[in-house]
Amino acid sequence: MIPYGRQEITEKDIEAVVDVLRSDFLTQGPVVPTFEKKLCNYTGVKYAVAVNSCTSALHIACLSLDLGHGDILWTSPITFVASANCALYCGATVDFVDVEPDTALMSVKRLKEKLEWAEKEGKLPKIVVPVHFAGQPCDMKEIHDLGRQYGFKIIEDAAHAIGAKYQDESVGNCRYSDITVFSFHPVKIITTGEGGCALTNNKHLARKMTLYRSHGITRDSKEMIHASPEGWYYEQICLGFNYRMSDIQASLGISQLERLDQYVKRRFEIANWYDEKINLDILHPLARRNNRKSSHHLYVVQSKNKTERDTLYQHLIESDVYVNLHYIPVYHHPHYNININLPGAEQYFRTAISLPIFPTIEKKDLIYIMKNILEVCL
C-alpha cells in the first residue's frame, strides 16, 4: 500500500525524544521555548507560540484578534474544515471566497469583488484567512493591500507551507499578515506527532496567544489584578484553553526542523518527476505562480471531468495506491450546508486528485503509480 503522505522518523529523532523522556520535564520545560526560537530563526518572524495542533493555533489566533459574536471571517472553501471552524469556536460567522480553479488558491479577483459588495452591504469581514494550498503561497501582498484598504486582519493558514517561500522570503515571516499558522501533523512537511504553531511580529498578539494557550493563566505581576510577591502566586485573567505542546513533541520538532530544507528539496524533486511523466493531454498538475516556491505538501492533478477523475481514483485505490481528494468544499458539509455559487471551487472539486508525495517514497513506487495512471488514461 502506498499512502498519499507519510512521516519519516529517524534514529536521531528517536534519540531526541528519549532524551526528554529521561529529563526532569516532559512538558512545560525548556524544550518548547527552544523549538519556538528555532522556528523564529528559520522564518524570520519575531514570536512563535507552539500549540498542540494547527486547529488550536487557528483558534487562539482568532481570539487574539478579538473575533467574536457579530463578526465575520472569510476563508477559502478548498481547505480542511478547521480553517472555517475557528470562526465558529469564537461565535462568529463564516463566508467563503472563491478560488482560482487551476491553483485552488484564494482568488484575489474574487476577493476584490466580494469586498466591494460587502462594503455596500455593511458585511465586511473582520478576518480573512488565505490558505496556502498544497504548499503554494497565496498572493499575500495583494491580499495585504486589500486588508489595509478595507480594514480586515489576516491569518495565513500555512498548514501546508512551512518551508515554502513567497517573493524569496520564508512563509511564516508575517510580512503581509498579522499571524501565520503551521501544522506539524504526521503527513505535513515536518512533524511533532500532533502539533502546530502561531507566529506573529506583534508582541501584544503573541502575549495574548500565549495566555489563551494555557488556561488564561499568568505569573507576570504586571498582568495581575492582585499582584503578589509570593513565587507561587498566579492568576487566571482570561478564559483560556489547554492547548500546550509538550516538550516531548517539541524535541521531535527540533530534530525534524534540521531536515526541513532537505525534505522540501526532495518533495520538489518528486513533483518535477511527476511533471515530466504526466501527459498534459490526460492530466495536468496545479498551476504554479511566479515569485512563489511551494513546499509541495500535496501533488494535485486535475482530470478533464469528474467521470475521468472518479475512474482514475477507483483504479488507483484498487491497485493499493491510496490517493486522496483535498478537499471537499467546506460549504458542502452538512454542518455548514451553505447555498453558495463558487464556480472555481466547484470546477476544482470535480476534477482534482492528490497523488502520493513524501520524502521516503521510492522510485519503484513512483513508476508503479504512473503505470496505473496510464492504464486508465491512455
Band of residue 178 on the pLDDT scale cut at 50, 70, 90? very high
106-162: per-residue pLDDT in tens? 999 999 999 999 999 999 999 999 999 999 999 999 999 999 999 999 999 999 999
Lowest-confidence range among 68-77, 115-124, 212-221, 229-238?
229-238
pLDDT of residue 4 exceeding 90, the answer is: yes
Arithmetic mean of pLDDT over the chain: 96
305-314, long-range: CB < 8 A, 24+ apart = 305/350, 305/351, 306/350, 306/351, 308/351, 308/377, 309/350, 309/351, 309/352, 309/353, 311/376, 312/283, 312/353, 312/373, 312/376, 312/377, 313/353
List, for residues 68-111, the tens digit of each pLDDT value. Answer: 999 999 999 999 999 999 999 999 999 999 999 999 999 999 99
Instruction: Note the pLDDT of residue 136.
Output: 98
pLDDT at 230: 76
Residue 263 to residue 117: CA distance in whole angstroms: 42
Mean pLDDT of 184-198: 98
Q: Read off the pLDDT of residues 246-291 as tens digits, 9 standing for 90 and up.
A: 999 999 999 999 999 999 999 999 999 999 998 777 899 999 999 9
Domain 2-257 belongs in CATH node 3.40.1190.20: no
The model's pLDDT over 288-342, given as tens digits with 9 standing for 90+, comes to: 999 999 999 999 999 999 999 999 999 999 999 999 999 999 999 999 989 998 9
Q: Are 124 and 118 in contact (CB under 8 A)?
A: yes
Q: Look at residue 377 in the predicted model and tell me its pLDDT.
A: 85
Task: Give me the mean pLDDT over the 213-225 stretch.
Answer: 91
Q: What is the pLDDT of residues 346-365, one digit of tens each?
A: 999 999 999 999 999 999 99
Which residues in the chain are classed under CATH 3.90.1150.10? 260-377
**CATH 3.40.640.10 location in the chain:** 2-257
Classified by CATH at the fold level, domain 260-377 comes out as: Aspartate Aminotransferase, domain 1 (3.90.1150)
Which strands sit side by side in the sheet containing 72-75, from one edge to the other? 47-51, 196-200, 179-183, 153-157, 127-129, 72-75, 93-96
